[in-house]
Amino acid sequence: MPARSPFESPRDAAAADVLRLVVAARRRLRTVATVRLVAIAAPAGVAAGAVLVTAGWAPAETPRVLGVLGAIAAAAWAAVRTPSLAVVARMLDARLGLRDRVAAALQLQFADGPIAALVARDAAARLASVRMTTVFPLAMGRMPAVAIALAVASMAWPTSSRVGTPEAAPRTASSDSGGTDDASSRTRRDSRRAATTAEPRASGRPATPQPAESRAADDRRDTTREAFAPAAASDRPQDAPPPVASPRGAPVNTAGTSQQTAAAPAAAAATGRTGRSGAGAGSTASGGLTAGAGGAAPGGVLASRGSEPAAPVVSGSFRVARANAEAALARDVIPPDYRDHVRAYFRALPTPSTGAGGTR
């Protein structure tokens, strides 16, 4: 009968167990890395695609394509960068406080001798009750959350600006600057229109032509707004009274008081009381009354969204302007430049027959 080897099954079984557990740990590490990287790369790709689409540099499918590509690249990267078994063994030792038991067992897995058997047995016993999901939890960290938030924000921004008030922000800016940048506002308007018409074309879908009436209405609105925009310092008539400080500290153009009182309701009527026009009128009024007031509310007229009526005005500058206007009306004195403003306003209003500004 052949002599039994002193290094039989215990060592082999234990060494095999250790190897199996280290392989499982490596697989778990790869899964965690893949999920984490995909959670970063896919939203980042979507965000980048959304930015490209918004800028008009890429077709509408770009976010989806970049998201998928990011996920594939992340998975490939995680697969390539998966640590070796020796490194995984060291990580297990470090996380479980095993004092290099797993690393030593892995190194001695093919060695003969009693020490190798003892080392493997010791490591296998320590690893027997270990759950890899506990040792290497699916900790995502902050980066995936940031990437997802970025993607959501980049996807939501163009949507909200399309649905809500796309011109609100730039218009407010231009009105804040005095409404003198007519050329640049036209350029922006043209580029937006080009982008909206180019987007479906580039995406392969048949481009939906913008109705002529709608385009004309846009033009009319813009023209009205530009005509009704408050005069900048350079545009102010020489005989206009100097601005005075408003109760909030912002300078109040006393010359613009009657403009606000007369223009706001008229503008609302002229623009059909849409959400867009409401915002436009509000910003115009704010620009006319309080120089540098950002947005509609501080200026006096709150811009309403959709078809809601404008909110009541509570600003001090509005009260001052209104009092001045009422005083002027009571005295039956209207400055000539105000007449010019009113005349210009009505001239800019569209007439049903011509579709453009008529003369009254």
101 lies in the site for another protein, by CB under 8 A = yes
Q: Which of 29, 40, 92, 119 binds another protein (CB under 8 A)?
A: 119
Q: Which of 55, 86, 311, 329 binds another protein (CB under 8 A)?
A: 86
122 lies in the site for another protein, by CB under 8 A = yes
Please state the closest distance from residue 81 (CB atom) to another protein, in A: 21
Please state the closest distance from residue 133 (CB atom) to another protein, in A: 25
225 lies in the site for another protein, by CB under 8 A = no
Q: Are 135 and 96 in contact (CB under 8 A)?
A: yes
Please state the closest distance from residue 91 (CB atom) to another protein, in A: 11
114 lies in the site for another protein, by CB under 8 A = yes
Please state the closest distance from residue 95 (CB atom) to another protein, in A: 13
- Site mask, another protein, residues 6-25, x = CB under 8 A? xx--xx--------------
358 lies in the site for another protein, by CB under 8 A = no
Interior angle at CA 329, CA 325 and CA 334, nearest 5 = 85
Please state the closest distance from residue 100 (CB atom) to another protein, in A: 4
Question: Which segment (45-53, 114-122, 213-221, 346-354) binds another protein by CB under 8 A?
Answer: 114-122
115 lies in the site for another protein, by CB under 8 A = yes
90 lies in the site for another protein, by CB under 8 A = yes
Please state the closest distance from residue 85 (CB atom) to another protein, in A: 11
Residues 6 or more apart whose CB falls under 8 angstroms from that of 252 comprise: 243, 244, 245, 246, 289, 290, 317, 320, 321
Please state the closest distance from residue 89 (CB atom) to another protein, in A: 9
Q: State how far the Cα of 67 lies from the Cα of 151, in Å rounded to an integer.
A: 10
**Residues 235-263: b if buried by 16+ CB within 10 A, e if exposed:** ebeeebeebeebeeebebbbbbbbbbbbb
Nearer to another protein, 88 or 270 (CB): 88
Q: Which of 35, 65, 118, 262 binds another protein (CB under 8 A)?
A: 118
Please state the closest distance from residue 121 (CB atom) to another protein, in A: 7
Question: Which segment (51-59, 73-81, 102-110, 286-294) binds another protein by CB under 8 A?
Answer: 102-110
Nearer to another protein, 6 or 164 (CB): 6
Q: Which of 33, 44, 88, 103 binds another protein (CB under 8 A)?
A: 103
Nearer to another protein, 111 or 150 (CB): 111
126 lies in the site for another protein, by CB under 8 A = no
Please state the closest distance from residue 119 (CB atom) to another protein, in A: 5
Q: Which residues are near another protein by CB under 8 A? A: 6-7, 10-11, 86, 90, 93, 99-101, 103-105, 107-108, 111, 113-119, 121-122
